[in-house]
Amino acid sequence: MKIYFTLLIGLFFQISFAQSPVRQGEHFANINGLKLHYEVSGKGPICIFPTPGWGPNIDAYKNSMPELEKYFTVVWLDTRASGKSEASPNPEDYQTEDFIEDIEQLRKYLKQEKVWILGHSMGGWQVINYGIKYSKNLNGIIAIAPFAGMDKIAENEFMKALEKRKNEPYYSTGSKVLLGTDTIRRTLAEEMPLIIPFYFHDQANLKKFSMIKNVQLSQKAWEMTAKGGFGSEQILELLPKITVPTLILVGDDDFICDQISHAGRLHKGIKSSQLSTIKDSGHFIWIEQPKMFYQAIENWLKTKR
């Protein structure tokens, strides 16, 4: 009888683990009417990592920053229309609020009272906005090169960054694409090689970027987020609503989400935040300066646990 009871208990735990929404590997969840794709890897506290929303899939991040899995059990989320996640046919379903609610419903689906949350660029925009609305559901936020919204200050810094690169060989065509003055109709996949050099401090690091495996870009997500107005909100006055520890990382040569108009103003508005500026780095900090990037995260986490 004792052996039977022991086997029964063991079987119960095996079944429970097999059905766990946070078990290692690939998963799909029905979230807000869409079948969203996510993968779980790593060890430690749960951390949701949404892709930027406008096109890249989770492999663009999961395959380029595996070191994060030493600190967290990372839930890599393909946001709506990206990677293997389903897309809504309606542009109005691609506003910032929709992405925030996808993250919130995923947290509930994972049965987690509180989570960490981490994002890069427009993924950073998502996690900051999530923190504004749902700080009570968070342990902390890590925002890598986060977007903070566009206004005159951000536009001026962007133009300065473009001007700084005017003598580079990639400037002529790439700047027209970025400014929207290019007359040639191109897909996202066709545009990316023309503009990606702007994102790096050292062009030699482009090779590392090109070696990331299984990167996919969603044309659907690119078009829908543009039509839906994703990222068009003004949030600076709402930042005091974030009450959890927040780490903001930015490269000192990031042309698109610079320290002055984006990271710096987020840091100023979030009283519980720390700003870490990584030298000799552009938008992809963990590729250009991996040692300093992970050390900044590790040092910060040590003070928060």
pLDDT digits (tens, 9 = 90+) for 262-299: 999 999 999 999 999 999 999 999 999 999 999 999 99
C-alpha–C-alpha distance, residues 261 and 254, integer Å: 11
pTM over 0.95, yes/no: no
C-alpha–C-alpha distance, residues 266 and 273, integer Å: 8
Q: Rounded to the nearest 5 degrees, what angle is found at the Cα of 291, between the Cα atoms of 79 and 250?
A: 55
C-alpha–C-alpha distance, residues 119 and 298, integer Å: 16
Using 50, 70 and 90 to split pLDDT, how confident is the model at 208?
very high
Helix (H, G, I), strand (E, B) or coil at 152: helix
C-alpha–C-alpha distance, residues 32 and 72, integer Å: 26
Domain 2-304: give its CATH superfamily.
Alpha/Beta hydrolase fold, catalytic domain (3.40.50.1820)
